[in-house]
Structures are given as structure tokens and as C-alpha cells.
Amino acid sequence: MDDHLLRFDKDKVYTFIDFETCNLCLNFCHNLPWQVGMIKSVNGKKIDEKDFYIKWPDDIKVSKEAARITRFDMKKYLMRAIPYDEIFPTMEDWMNNADYILGHNILGFDIYLIKEYYKSMGKDYKHLLPKIIDTMCIARGVKCGISYKEGDDFLAYQYKMLHERRKGMKTSLIALGKEFDIKHNYAMLHDAVVDLELNLKVWNKIKWMMEI
């Protein structure tokens, strides 16, 4: 019987998380997130969402390329930004109380921002790692024909897939969405919540492609 697999569990709570940032650096010395989006999902459906613009003690400096890709609007940001320490309790609650924390390339990017965010609050993030599911890593495993073996370290498997490279392999969120014929507002991607809505749809496809 395989009813223990995640695709059959209708009660697990999933928190999807995504950051939009000033650039692509992996620490707060040279980069800060200006938006964090979260979606809470049960049984493959969105049941709640949060969308925060983050205010830091220092002024943020969004690179021209990042601003172009994410359509960053300084006026909108200044109107909506909330102090980072006021946002953190909600972010912490959603991740601590989730059975799993999901993101696309979360192990290659967002987890470093989560680490820095927790550090800025004087807290440790490591208890979150066993709950991480990176949909990009799962997609690479599927495309490479490298299955996860039950009983193995799932986090280690995902990190292995994170570094797996194959010529012509496309595992971006956009590529997977179009490959799976998922209807979505692709023109509005690179907004955290819009990205996460697609991420949830992609997860609902690939969870049937691997025994996890």
C-alpha cells in the first residue's frame, strides 16, 4: 500500500514561501528581501495567503535588473512596507506550524534569506530544514530518472538534485507550468504570491511523479 505518500494525505498543512529581493546575493550584507509571500495549502488547495512588503532599518537598494524583472515600484513599496520585526511572528508561525515548507529553488536561494531573517531576530532556523520540499529539485529528479528511495535522507536527496545538471533540462517554474499545460497569469510572475500560486499548481502535478 502507498497511502502513506504525500499525494494521498489530505490533512497535511503546506506553507509555500517566496521572496523578492534587491539582487541575487545570498546574505543580508549585500542583499535584502523587499517582499515575502506565503500561501497555506491543505489537500492541494490554497486556504490562506500573506503578502508583505518588508521595511528594514536601512534603505533598500533594488538593482535595475531586479526592479525590471519584478516590476518594483518604490512608491508602492513605501506605502505598503511593514517593519521586518512585525512581519516575522506571522512568518515564523506559518513555517513552524506547517507540516512541510515548499518553494521552487528554496534550497538554492530562499533558505539563505530565511536563515538571515531568523538571524536578524536572534533565532535559529535549522529546525525548519527537515520540512523543506524544493519543487525544482523534485522536478530535476523526475526528469533525470533519479528516484528518491524511501528511508533515505530526503533533504540530502534534494541537495543532490539541486546540483544535478543535464543539457536541455528545463525546470524553472515557468517552464514546468507551460510543460504541464497549467493555466496561469504568466505575465505577472516575479510577484511573490503570483509565483506561489503557480508553485502550488506545479506541486499538484509533480507529487504524482515521485514516491515521496
Share of the chain above pLDDT 90, in %: 86
Closest CA to 33 of 44, 23, 41, 42: 23
In a 3-state reduction of DSSP, which class is residue 174?
A: helix
Residue 108 reports pLDDT greater than 80 = yes
Of 57-61, 85-89, 142-146, 185-189, which range is least confident?
Answer: 185-189
Q: What is the pLDDT of residues 73-94, one digit of tens each?
A: 999 999 999 999 999 999 999 9
Residue 9 reports pLDDT greater than 90 = no
Q: What is the pLDDT of residues 114-133, one digit of tens each?
A: 999 999 999 999 999 999 99
Q: Indicate the domain borders of the chain.
A: 6-206
Distance CA 98, CA 106 (A): 16
Q: What is the pLDDT of residues 93-106, one digit of tens each?
A: 999 999 999 999 99
Are the C-beta atoms of 36 and 87 separated by less than 8 Å?
Answer: yes
Q: pLDDT band for position 1 (50/70/90)?
A: very low
Q: What is the pLDDT of residues 172-206, one digit of tens each?
A: 999 999 999 999 988 888 889 999 999 999 999 99
Torsion of CA 156, 204, 198, 178, to 10 degrees: 100
User: Is the domain defined by 6-206 classed in CATH 3.30.420.10?
Assistant: yes
Give residue 27's pLDDT: 87
Q: Burial of 209 by CB count in 10 Å (0-12 exposed, 13-18 middle, 19+ buried)?
A: middle
Share of the chain above pLDDT 70, in %: 99
Give residue 51's pLDDT: 97
Give residue 40's pLDDT: 98
145 dihedral zone (left: phi>0; alpha: psi -120 to 50; beta): left
